[in-house]
Amino acid sequence: MKIAISFVGTGSYLNYLPEWYTSLKDNFIPNVEKVFLVFTDGDGDWPNDVIKIHSEHYGWPETFNHTFKNLLKSKEHIQDCDWFLSVDADMKPATTITYQEFFDDTKDYFGVHHPCHFLGMNPHNKFPGSFDTNSKSKACVTEEMDLSVYYQGCLWGGKIPKIFDMMEELNKWTEEDLSQEVTPVWYEESYFNKFFILNKENVHTLGPEFAYPEVFSDYCSFEPKMIHLAKDNSRLHS
């Protein structure tokens, strides 16, 4: 078993890497071999299990248009891995996470139920919520689809090589929309929500405890597994 975990940290976001790396290495499925893919424009003296992949600092929101194209650069480096995870720079395990509670070997993909959607918070409390309904976009969904789960972009992935097929498709959608000067409402998150809806039977849905929002912790009725840190003044940075 070998797991590839991606970190996107251009500009000042590279400062998140030390804590992100240590927390995932120690607490995410301990004693299983992991390789860490660091997409950055910066430099560092990193361990042998870290692979740097150069990524330009495009700025917001342009960076989201390059999400899948950049991640596909990792393909040649992780052919021997079993799973690929995309984990936001500002996320960390709240406790030890085991293979059995995270992965479902019968599914090719996984995503995490957005906590605010799970809690029925605005705008998720009425259609369309955060789903994209622009008919000009490849991310467009309709009310007739299964919209019972909205997936958050902070944590997603799947089996290798199936996850590369997904990223190739979503990169194609991105480029087609860009050619028509169309931008989905929530960028790359809108694309994989559409993909997961179309492939729902093959998606393992992780509960909102795997994207526990530190900033909304007072509203959560579930215990955290992975914490989404408040970027500016997190109480949980080491």
Angle formed at CA 13 by CA 17 and CA 150, multiple of 5 degrees: 95
pTM equals 0.93
Q: Count CB neighbours of 231 within 10 A.
A: 12
Q: Give me the domains of the chain, ranges plus CATH numbers.
A: 2-228 (3.90.550.10)
For the chain, 238 residues long, give each residue's pLDDT as a single digit of tens.
999 999 999 999 999 999 999 999 999 999 899 999 999 999 989 999 999 999 988 877 788 888 999 999 999 999 999 999 999 999 999 999 999 999 999 999 999 999 999 999 999 999 999 999 999 999 999 999 999 999 999 999 999 999 999 999 999 999 999 999 999 999 999 999 999 999 999 999 999 999 999 988 889 989 999 999 986 644 444 4
Q: Where are the beta strands (DSSP E) in the chain?
A: 2-8, 33-40, 50-54, 83-87, 91-93, 109-113, 151-159, 203-206, 212-213, 226-228
DSSP 28: B
CA distances from 213 to 23, 147, 154, 171 (A): 17, 21, 11, 28
